[in-house]
Chains A and B, each alone.
Chain A
Amino acid sequence: MFVQHFINALGLGALYGLIAIGYTMVYGILRLINFAHGDIFMLGAYFVFFATIQYKLPWGLGVAIAIVGATACGLLVDRIAYRPLRGAPRISALISAIGVSFFLENLAVVIFTGMPRAVVQPPWLMKPVILGEVRLIPLGLMVPVIAFVLVSGLLWVVYKTKPGLAMRSISHDIETTRLLGVSVDKIIALTFALGSALAALAGIMWALRYPRVEPFMGVFPGFKAFIAAVFGGIGSIPGAMVGGVILGFVEIMSVAFFPKLSGYKDAFAFVLLIVILLIKPTGLMGERMEEKI
């Protein structure tokens, strides 16, 4: 029983973490809360739904389409809603972010209708594996493993490659980074692309876990993932993952062991947020962020 809860919590937490990474990377570089990020997650889920269930494409192809589609949307959001405001006061970009989020959600209602649609899970993902007393489904095991691989890959990009070096540099000093020959807009676009691709993958796995998609499915996970990012220390990629996993555990375990609390499940994220802000305002693994000049 506990093993099942454990895997479950790890999976939910890994998904929060994958979304949180997109928030944390964009915030680290631009000091911008990209409110549209949860909607990119939703679009990723929809794209895979249409590709595989509506158009009967194989899952591998559907996943690829969803990643490419959601990444393109993330890049468009940066290009249209944020890049023209680079020099503007930060509040302008923030308002633009909220606007984009509403726009994407309502566009999804118009195009996809507000009706939730059921996702048909591929049977091989759901076929239980029995280990003694424990019943595990492959999907539940796959989610944390995939998340781990993705995050390792991302850390490699950020810490071992040239664009990654430029990303880390931009987050401290945009002007000096440009002075050294980095095309900052390209690196920012890359950041949005990576964050969107991870959100799309999280959206796909989310759609498989809670097998449905709907236009507002990104709102709560997005909100919680943002809290996970703040909890872990905004700007820190490992922090986002750790924050996500902790939140996943708090939600799953509290409901598992105190079923009476299940009605309050969505409030735990806020409790965690308040606690960390009181004890360590920079989050678990965060460093102080200087204001951008």
Chain B
Amino acid sequence: MTPLPEPSTTAAPPRPASRPGFVRREWLPIILFVLLALLPFAAMLGPEKYTLSLVTRVMIFALAAISLDLILGYGALVSFGHAAFLGIGGYAVGILAAHGFQDAALQVPVALLASGLFALLTGAISLRTKGVYFIMITLAFGQMAFFFAISLSAYGGDDGLTLASRSKLFGLSWLENDRFFYALVLALLIGCYALTRAIVASRFGRVIRGAKENPVRMEAVGFSPFRYQLAVYVISGMICGLAGVLLANQAEFVAPAYMAWQRSGELIVMVILGGLGSLHGAIIGAAAFLLLEEILSGYTEHWKLIFGPFLVLVVLFARGGLLGILAKVRGKSGGGR
């Protein structure tokens, strides 16, 4: 009843800066990226096209999941409409290509601008609400984008839009080469990971993290969290828009389904599955999600019946997601904690 501020219950339990164990937590992202860099060589021994395409897809969704983790894991902003940015990035590619503008040098800036603008407009409204209302309103904006895409009859409407080819890179057709495309996606993933890593550790990032734990305290030291949250929402939307550009190129196809609310839900699941608020957890979560989907759906079309309970178990028994399980295992075998 009283307006007395209470620290939000979502506050993460304090944890020491570094953990003992035979693998330090900081090494994990490096190991991940090295594995991803080596994978194409291993892929040559098997079904290369299939492997590269699958892992490229994983990395693209990892990029989207990282962008969501930036606001969800560090800002407690549960955006349930994040897939809209995938769609905006994808449609920027598709629509421009349909008009003969096939170069990424134009498509990418347009995609970033469009996703940034969409984030700015929807964020300016959604961020005035909190908690469940924020979830609902971002969902509503996501659905608006979804239905808008369906209404684009000139660009395939419901059926979506098939690209004639992947984007050109300054006039060159390098993206058609699966190995090159893989390398490009990996480079962008690493770049965006480094960027978001820097952001969360910066002055700006501290404001975002503080506002997540105790917004009233932030105001009581002189911050108006809204502006910072809006800015991080825009950054997140732009990174996710970039993932949309890549996704359209990978599939050579864009459709309203990119923006379906189920897709937004899957992004949230990836982030939570991997472990909230660590950035590389989002990569692990995206990989686990898509690989499990790939494997399980090979056995049965009702794969979600198995996947659902698995998710519930992870959320119930590993509060830090897969990353949390990993830390526990390491803690035991490493003799620390």
Asked whether A and B interact, the reply is no
B interface residues with partner A (beta carbon < 8 Å): none
Q: Which chain A residues have a beta carbon within 8 Å of chain B's beta carbons?
A: none
